[in-house]
Amino acid sequence: MNPVNDNDQPVDPPRACPICGKPALVRFKPFCSKRCAEVDLHRWLSGSYVIPASEDEDEDGDGVPSSDGDRR
């Protein structure tokens, strides 16, 4: 008889692994396995996850040009 390892139990409430869609495990939360966790880490380190932005946007959104010609 093997002792129950809580780390290998499904996450409660049940959630899908964001990489492959299998049920997530407590040990690798929010992933289902070490492989999926490493795939996600690789995506972060390689720059696959980015927030799109454009250089033209003004930061505060008022659109009023400053005295030096830059938009504020």
**14-72 confidence digits (pLDDT tens):** 899 999 999 999 999 999 999 999 999 999 999 998 888 887 656 666 666 666 655 55
Query: What's the pLDDT at 14?
Result: 86
Q: Does some domain include residue 32?
A: yes
Q: What is the 8-class DSSP label of residue 38?
A: H
Structural domain including 20 reads 8-46
Q: Does some domain include residue 36?
A: yes
Q: Does some domain include residue 58?
A: no
3 state DSSP class of 25: strand
The count of domains in the chain is 1
Query: What's the pLDDT at 40?
Result: 97
Q: Does some domain include residue 61?
A: no
User: 1 or 70: which carries more pLDDT confidence?
Assistant: 70
Q: Does some domain include residue 55?
A: no
Closest by CA position to 27, among listed 40, 2, 35: 35
Query: What's the pLDDT at 1?
Result: 44
Q: Does some domain include residue 62?
A: no
- CATH number of the domain at 17, please: 3.30.50.10
Q: What does the alpha-carbon distance between residue 70 and residue 72 come to, in Å, rounded to a whole number? A: 6
